[in-house]
């Protein structure tokens, strides 16, 4: 506690009425990455004691919901749910609270109880962050944003890759309010993808028409994919190279000849 009492952000939190110094981390994340905008619905996972809820309410002014197994003291204009984010019953309660269209933003500043064994604590952090991501995928709107705290370590790159597969843009960011000796870092995903495919997926397709840019234009499960350097009538094996909210790009991996048009 002595260290906290000498900490600039600890004092600032006390002076400005925030429940924790972590409030400034969300302020700095939002200033840099524009995660929360006015009117957004925000869900904070592992929200106790409520410092991020206070800031989320200030930033959005809209629906703000905190979820935790611990009790969260009331905050004006903020709803709370007591529950485990891994439980389907909790997911149901969240959706009932924010609406079936989902939330605009999902946050998670939670951390596991530290054991002092760094490998174990890192693994527990990744496990918690993975649970937050899985929850976010169930409750985020298309194009929604996601922020989660992770401890750095040898499993970090794989986790970042997993987040990257689900969002248009992904970044890792350490706000100034994080202590210099801390190994925590925040993974930020912007514009949640609800496309039925992901970068690296392969498909065999028939090129029946070209788009206005001259690329092949095909539908995969109702989703538009543009294929470079093809001609109408070709059958090709393609690999998805980039996915956007409303369309994707692909390149030819193998040319399989011509396809026969049905009468």
- Would you please indicate which residues are annotated as catalytic (active-site) residues? 149
Could you tell me whether strands 247-258 and 223-227 are parallel, antiparallel, or unpaired per DSSP bridges?
parallel
- 3-state secondary structure at position 191: strand
Q: Which two tokens stand for residue 39?
A: 């009117």
DSSP character for 210? B
Burial class (CB in 10 A: 0-12, 13-18, 19+), 39: exposed
**Backbone phi, psi, residue 153, to 5°:** 170, -170
Could you tell me whether strands 247-258 and 167-173 are parallel, antiparallel, or unpaired per DSSP bridges?
unpaired
d(CA 176, CA 129): 21
214: left (phi over 0), alpha (psi -120 to 50) or beta: left
Burial class (CB in 10 A: 0-12, 13-18, 19+), 145: buried
Angle at 50 between CA 49 and CA 56, to 5 degrees: 160
d(CA 164, CA 123): 19
d(CA 78, CA 205): 49
d(CA 68, CA 143): 25
């Amino acid at each position: 506690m002595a260290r906290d009492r000498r900490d600039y952000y600890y004092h600032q939190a006390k002076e400005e009425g925030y429940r924790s110094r972590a409030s400034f981390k969300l302020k700095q994340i939002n200033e840099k990455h524009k995660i929360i905008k006015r009117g957004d619905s925000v869900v904070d996972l592992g929200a106790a004691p409520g410092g991020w809820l206070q800031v989320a309410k200030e930033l959005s002014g809209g629906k703000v919901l905190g979820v935790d197994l611990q009790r969260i003291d009331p905050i004006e204009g903020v709803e709370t749910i007591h529950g485990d984010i891994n439980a389907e019953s909790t997911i149901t309660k969240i959706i009932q609270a924010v609406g079936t269209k989902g939330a605009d933003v999902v946050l998670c500043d939670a951390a596991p109880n530290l054991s002092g064994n760094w490998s174990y604590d890192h693994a527990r952090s990744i496990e918690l962050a993975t649970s937050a991501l899985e929850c976010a995928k169930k409750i985020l709107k298309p194009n929604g944003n996601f922020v989660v705290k992770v401890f750095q370590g040898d499993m970090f790159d794989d986790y970042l890759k997993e987040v990257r597969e689900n969002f248009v843009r992904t970044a890792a960011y350490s706000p100034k309010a994080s202590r210099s000796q801390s190994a925590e870092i925040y993974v930020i995903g912007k514009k949640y993808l609800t496309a039925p495919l992901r970068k690296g997926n392969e498909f065999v397709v028939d090129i029946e028409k070209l788009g206005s840019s001259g690329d092949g234009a095909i539908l995969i499960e109702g989703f538009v994919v543009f294929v470079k350097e093809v001609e109408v009538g070709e059958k090709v094996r393609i690999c998805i190279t980039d996915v956007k909210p409303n369309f994707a790009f692909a390149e030819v991996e193998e040319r399989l000849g011509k396809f026969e048009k049905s009468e």
